Chain A
Amino acid sequence: MANEYLVEVSHLKQYFPIRSGFKTIPLKAVDDVSFNIRPGETLGLVGESGCGKTTVGRTLLRLYKPTDGTVTFNGTEVTDKNIHALRKEMQMVFQDPYSSLNPRMTVEDIIGEPLDVHKLYSTRAERHEKVMELMETVGLNADHATRYAHEFSGGQRQRIGIARALAVDPKFIVCDEPVSALDVSIQAQVVNMFEDLQKQRGMAYLFIAHDLLVVRHISNRIAVMYLGHMMEMADSKELMDHPIHPYTESLLSAVPIPDPKTARSSQRIVLEGDVPSPLNMPTGCPFRTRCKYATDQCAAQRPELRDRGNGHFVACWNR
């Protein structure tokens, strides 16, 4: 069966139980989020810390068992039973290249581990050859295969992490803030590599990041999250040029633009206050406590994510 979408997420919920005294209250990290990703597409996922974007990425790969909702990959619903096989198709690159690589393993073993798990070689020599090939693909010197992770710089470590994800030749990679721990001059190297690999292999990405300029550069579409809810989703150009949701608007205006003239002329919309605690979520729209357009309806009812034409989805009563 041919599917239009590679990954379909519908009504995904992820609650974490928080014990406080004798009671256990749910922390709603992700609350009713739905989106789809086409083959070969990059969906950018942005939001502030604590908005649940990383949780969405991890739940897709079933690193967490979702509280409710389904994730469908290539027409098959992801369950506990088939996730092992499906991880050959979907992989993850983590944010911190320092803690996501085992310090006791050589680079060859780190990159070779997915091959071991999925039994993708018949002889040691074949494994070695595959690892060498992967190291070359991500621009690492193949002579360094016997080294340990701590001998590499941040950018090189992130390359090791990417090579590990590529080892099983996946169709879909969740990239969880893959460049935020890197220096500016190194970020561009890694961003370019992601783009090249996508062209060569036709993979789809879920690109999670808080740097909007990087996300805009790499993504076809962008989704904005706030307190576990999806606020807006659209083509990246459409979203950046014509944001509809007041939260997206203020998020975009808060991004410091590396251009003094624009910076001087642009009017920043500075939001008041902080993000509310997800344990004590406002009723209705989660953004209403900081929104200047908030009305009684916003407090009473949560707005649904609706299509405003051309695949521009917005969850807001007033816009």
Chain B
Amino acid sequence: MSDYKYILDVQDLHTTFKTDNGEVHAVNGVSFCLEPGQTLGIVGESGSGKSVTAYSVMQILADNGGITGGKVLYKGEDIAKWNSKQMAGFRGKCCSIIFQDPMTSLNPVFSIGYQLEEAVLLHTDRTRSEAKQRAVEMLTLVGVNEPEKRVKQYPHELSGGMRQRVMIAMALACEPDILIADEPTTALDVTIQAQILELMQSLQKKLGMAIIMVTHDLGVIAQMCDEIIVMYGGRVCERGTADDIFYAPAHEYTKGLLRSIPTLSNTDERLVPIGGTPINLLNMPKGCAFCPRCDQAMKICLNQVPEEIRLDDHHLAACWMNIKELYKEENA
């Protein structure tokens, strides 16, 4: 295997869905890299392409969709070219995913234990009795009490938080290098959400996997992530460390997003919403995807898609406003 710095290196990814109303370009040239053991957050509204990006990496897109361009390098190898058999080996063993709704992602007619064993048997050469043992081990690891009893239970017998723990146990049963968490706590209550986030952090310390956290919740992102990508309309608006994004946002969308959420300090102030309605992917603007909702939009924004402009070592933003700023600085 070749030398690699990044465990996952996504380059210029394009994903398209064919629908009756035309082609939907859900992901338009997204690039990011993930170092081993790192937590990357992908944040955006519904329809921003954050989930589709994650699904594209796993190649679990719906039948009418597919990767139409770009590379997905896992340890230096382009898995976008892999066939379905190779991908089956990749999923679970190298990279796992947990979904938003733990009720619909567990099979209601099989016991928890059976479903956990299935994952283990499929990806490792353990025997059934070893797999059984592994299932109990994993449940203990994710903090499910009385695991010996739980393996015989069915999903409907467990609470939402417990089901999400089982999902995490299943995802980590084969020790993947990457865990993709697609809105893992959105369906859960805050106190249960805190439990699950804590669990994910402690498991990351123990097992050392990298996490891609896909969510719309800026609070969760602030708590969990080292690096953050902000997406809008299938493109990356801004990327940087958590501090860059929260304290020095450089894209008008990120700024708007941060202004529009209630925090502990702005209770008495009025929220500043982002005007307009979320983007329609069937009818994408020619220039910057955010420009119809942007207060600062300029002529260039209408016609030309902004490139990512490097502001700092790690901090990049795709907004023409920054060019204007740079230009001002140079002339001053």
Q: Which of A192, A254, A258 contacts B261 (CB 8 A)?
A: A258
Does any Cβ of B come within 8 Å of A185's Cβ? Answer: yes
- Is the pair B194, A254 in contact by a Cβ cutoff of 8 Å? yes
Q: Which of B191, B192, B222 contacts A259 (CB 8 A)?
A: B222
- Is the pair B222, A210 in contact by a Cβ cutoff of 8 Å? no
Interface with B: A61-69, A77-85, A262-270, which one?
A: A262-270
Q: Which of B172-206 contact A (CB under 8 A)?
A: 189-195, 197-198
- Cα-based distance from A192 to B260 in the complex (angstroms): 10
- Is the pair A259, B263 in contact by a Cβ cutoff of 8 Å? yes
Does any Cβ of A come within 8 Å of B223's Cβ? Answer: yes
- Is the pair B261, A188 in contact by a Cβ cutoff of 8 Å? yes
- Is the pair A184, B261 in contact by a Cβ cutoff of 8 Å? yes
Does any Cβ of B come within 8 Å of A302's Cβ? Answer: no
- Is the pair B216, A184 in contact by a Cβ cutoff of 8 Å? yes
- Is the pair B189, A258 in contact by a Cβ cutoff of 8 Å? no
- Main SS at interface, chain A: helix
Interface with B: A7-15, A102-110, A169-177, A212-220, which one?
A: A212-220
How many A residues, CB 8 Å from partner?
42
- Is the pair A155, B190 in contact by a Cβ cutoff of 8 Å? no
Closest-CB distance, B145 to chain A (whole angstroms): 8
Q: Which of B157-172 contact A (CB under 8 A)?
A: 159, 161-162
Does any Cβ of A come within 8 Å of B274's Cβ? Answer: yes
Q: A188-B261, A257-B264 are in contact. Are A183 and B216 (CB under 8 A)?
A: yes
Contacts of A184 in B (CB 8 A): 45, 216, 218, 257, 260-261
Interface string of B257-273 (1 = CB under 8 A from A): 11111111011001111
- Is the pair A251, B190 in contact by a Cβ cutoff of 8 Å? yes
Interface string of A72-105 (1 = CB under 8 A from B): 0000000000000000000000000000000000
Q: Which of B191, B256, B273 contacts A251 (CB 8 A)?
A: B191
- Cα-based distance from A47 to B274 in the complex (angstroms): 28
Central interface residue in A191, A217, A240, A261, by most chain B CB within 10 Å: A217
Contact surface of B with A, Cβ cutoff 8 Å: 45-46, 159, 161-162, 189-195, 197-198, 216-223, 242-243, 246-247, 256-264, 266-267, 270-275, 277-278
6 closest pairs, A vs B, by CB? A256-B219, A188-B273, A188-B260, A254-B194, A48-B189, A217-B262
Contacts A187-B260, A254-B193 given; 19 further ones with Cβ under 8 A? A153-B278, A183-B46, A185-B273, A188-B261, A189-B273, A189-B274, A191-B271, A210-B189, A213-B219, A216-B267, A217-B271, A240-B264, A251-B191, A253-B194, A254-B190, A259-B263, A263-B219, A263-B223, A271-B194
12 contacting pairs across A/B (C-beta < 8 A): A48-B191, A184-B257, A216-B262, A250-B191, A254-B190, A255-B190, A256-B222, A257-B219, A259-B222, A270-B191, A271-B191, A275-B159
